[in-house]
């Protein structure tokens, strides 16, 4: 069996007994039942993922920022030059990007992976180079990736998740960098959810109305060329209209789910990648925590399709892993409750009559 098939085969449903134990434990803690709302549900789910109550604390965490370029950039879907992808990789390595500031704030490690930046970047400490291609092809003209490229990028994500868990990380956080990747994200989301391009295509970095209209036409043209429908093979969908970072993030999610470690998802790029991962292995959703909901309309559509509720909604539209990192303390707090909060019995507090 190859790495992707082996990883998919290792992904299992949540453990019902551990979830029942977590529900029962929550009901004995010194607070009114249900008072922690969504965090209680999250603690139950993470118990089911670990197969234990309490589950391990989701720390240390690592955010993996997968960087790649997009051939569809040639269609004028963003005013930013493609070089910004590689330049931002330098910024991540120097610690100067928003993701670095939020990682320092939340105690997460940062990993930066070149999975397909167009140019060869200067060798730098901390840069993980796993180029599956020098950028994708233009999805309006031909498949963005070959089957070999998409499999290599998914494999990179799986291996990184596996390595991070082997290094002791107990929470994985998705990040991305790729100028034009909100266009590829919209195409993936339209393909996987069956929604119309105009309902899932947004303003990305903040493009003008004319550029957004163009993005919608570009997404429509790519989907028509590729002839995809909801029955298409998920790796084929990724190869036709996705990005190398989408493929790697899909692999990262699969790898985290196989290791039964929570994966905190960032914005629309991660949402699109999670649709691919869930199409390959529906049980990955048990490992996925939607860190936030971004301003991109496609992100809300992806989360709805995945039946994931975002923890934070701050109108962010950045990517890099920033929204997911803001949610990390919430995920950790949800589990800490199961570890540390006293029960009515142990604290000598009277339960309600």
Ligand X SMILES: Cc1cc2ncn([C@H]3O[C@H](COP(=O)(O)O)[C@@H](O)[C@H]3O)c2cc1C
Ligand Y SMILES: O=C(O)c1cccnc1
Please choose which of ligand Y, ligand X, none residue 78 contacts, taking the beta carbon within 5 to 8 angstroms, the exact cut-off set by kind: ligand X
Environment class of 37 (CB within 10 Å of its CB; exposed 0-12, middle 13-18, buried 19+): exposed
Please choose which of ligand X, ligand Y, none residue 71 contacts, taking the beta carbon within 5 to 8 angstroms, the exact cut-off set by kind: none
- Smaller CB separation from ligand X, 18 or 177: 177
Does 179 sit near ligand X (CB under 6 A)?
Answer: yes
Does 48 sit near ligand Y (CB under 6 A)?
Answer: no
Least spacing, CB of residue 319 vs ligand X, in Å: 3
| 8 A C-beta contact, residue 188 and residue 232 | no
- Smaller CB separation from ligand X, 15 or 296: 296
- Smaller CB separation from ligand X, 43 or 85: 85
For the segment 186-205, give every residue that binds ligand X (CB under 6 A). Answer: 204-205
CA distance 47 to 164: 20
Does 40 sit near ligand Y (CB under 6 A)?
Answer: no
| 8 A C-beta contact, residue 313 and residue 28 | no
- Which of 88, 117, 281, 334 contacts ligand X by CB under 6 A? 88
Least spacing, CB of residue 111 vs ligand X, in Å: 15
Environment class of 210 (CB within 10 Å of its CB; exposed 0-12, middle 13-18, buried 19+): exposed
CA distance 245 to 260: 22
| 8 A C-beta contact, residue 138 and residue 27 | no
Does 260 sit near ligand Y (CB under 6 A)?
Answer: no
- Which of 132, 296, 325, 326 contacts ligand Y by CB under 6 A? 296
- Smaller CB separation from ligand X, 48 or 116: 116
- Cβ-proximal residue to ligand Y, closest one: 267
Please choose which of ligand Y, ligand X, none residue 218 contacts, taking the beta carbon within 5 to 8 angstroms, the exact cut-off set by kind: none
| 8 A C-beta contact, residue 112 and residue 146 | no
Residues in contact with ligand X, counted by CB under 6 A, come to a total of 18
Q: 320 catalytic, yes or no?
A: yes
* CA distance to 9, 11, 60, 159, 257, per residue, from 282 (Å): 11, 9, 26, 20, 11
Does 69 sit near ligand X (CB under 6 A)?
Answer: no
**Rg, the chain, Cα only:** 20
User: Pairing relation of β-strands 127-129 and 288-290?
Assistant: unpaired
User: Pairing relation of β-strands 263-265 and 288-290?
Assistant: parallel
Binding segment (CB under 6 A) for ligand Y, from list 18-26, 226-234, 250-258, 293-301: 293-301
Does 204 sit near ligand Y (CB under 6 A)?
Answer: yes
Q: Residues in the chain, how many? A: 353
- Smaller CB separation from ligand X, 54 or 116: 116
CA distance 11 to 142: 33
Does 187 sit near ligand Y (CB under 6 A)?
Answer: no
Q: Where are the alpha helices (DSSP H) in 167-243?
A: 181-193, 197-200, 209-226, 234-241
Point out the catalytic residue in the list 40, 240, 296, 320: 320
Residues that bind ligand Y (CB under 6 A): 182, 204-205, 266-269, 294, 296, 299, 317-319
Give me the active site residues, please. 320
């Amino acid at each position: 069996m190859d790495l992707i098939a082996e990883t998919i085969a290792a992904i299992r449903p949540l453990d019902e007994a551990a979830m029942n134990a977590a529900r029962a434990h929550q009901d004995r803690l010194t607070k009114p039942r249900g008072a922690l709302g969504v965090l209680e549900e999250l603690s139950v789910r993470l118990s089911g993922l670990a197969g234990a109550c309490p589950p391990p604390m989701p720390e240390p965490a690592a955010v993996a920022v997968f960087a790649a370029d997009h051939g569809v950039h040639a269609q004028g879907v963003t005013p930013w030059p493609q070089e910004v992808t590689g330049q931002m990789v330098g910024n991540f390595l120097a610690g100067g990007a928003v993701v670095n500031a939020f990682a320092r704030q939340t105690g997460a490690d940062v990993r930066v992976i070149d999975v397909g930046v167009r140019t060869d970047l200067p060798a730098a400490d901390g840069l993980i180079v796993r180029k599956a291609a020098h950028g994708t092809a233009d999805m309006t003209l031909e498949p963005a990736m070959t089957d070999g490229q998409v499999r290599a990028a998914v494999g990179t994500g799986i291996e990184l998740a596996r390595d991070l868990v082997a290094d002791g990380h107990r929470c994985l956080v998705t990040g991305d960098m790729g100028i034009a990747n909100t266009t590829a994200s919209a195409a993936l989301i339209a393909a996987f959810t069956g929604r119309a391009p105009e309902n899932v295509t947004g303003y990305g970095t903040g493009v003008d109305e004319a550029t957004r209209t163009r993005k919608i036409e570009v997404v429509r043209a790519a989907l028509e060329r590729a002839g995809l429908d909801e029955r298409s093979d998920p790796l084929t969908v990724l190869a036709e209209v996705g990005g190398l970072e989408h493929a790697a993030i899909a692999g990262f999610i699969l790898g985290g789910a196989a290791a039964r470690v929570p994966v905190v998802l960032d914005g629309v790029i991660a949402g699109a990648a999670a649709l691919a991962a869930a199409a390959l292995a529906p049980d990955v959703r048990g490992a996925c925590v939607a860190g936030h909901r971004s301003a991109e309309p496609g992100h809300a559509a992806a989360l709805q399709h995945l039946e994931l509720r975002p923890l934070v909604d701050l109108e962010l539209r950045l990517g890099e892993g920033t929204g997911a990192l803001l949610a990390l303390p919430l995920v950790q707090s949800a589990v800490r409750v199961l570890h540390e909060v006293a029960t009515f019995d142990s604290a000598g507090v009277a339960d309600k009559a």
